[in-house]
Amino acid sequence: MKTFLKFFDVLEDKIRFSLSKRPILYGLVSGVGIVLFFRGVWLLADEFSFMTGLVTLITSIIILLLSGAFVEHFISDKIITSGIKKEKKLVEKEAAEIYAETSVLREVQKDVQKLDKKISALNDTLKNE
């Protein structure tokens, strides 16, 4: 069983890597997969007479809340974080604010790259000793 799961894990990584180079194809394949998944769930739910609209809604909300997917998919963490920080929505920000934030992020990225180089150099020095 472990070998079986490992095989599909490796296969998934290869497919994702290949599709990531072709975003439109990736979107199409993912979209078809999602629609077919929902169609299968829908048809399966239709097999049970007790799965009325209300029961289906309540069941789905419970499943989504317990799995943590409700907040993740319907209210992204960016929205929650920006609300806590009392930030403006992206569409409300002025171009200057967006540019300033982008500049700060670029500087942070440069600093992280410098630190990464220093750590690599230290690791090389330690390996040589």
Average pLDDT over residues 112-123: 88
Does residue 82 or residue 104 have the better pLDDT?
Answer: 104
Average pLDDT over residues 95-100: 69
Q: Could you read off the pLDDT of 2-36 as tens digits, one per residue?
A: 888 888 888 888 888 888 888 889 889 988 998 99
User: In whole angstroms, what is the distance from residue 118 CA to residue 112 CA?
Assistant: 10
Does residue 5 or residue 72 have the better pLDDT?
Answer: 5
Percent pLDDT > 70 in the chain is 78
- Residue 91 reports pLDDT greater than 60: no
> How would you class 72 by CB atoms within 10 Å of its CB: exposed for 0-12, middle for 13-18, buried for 19 or more?
exposed
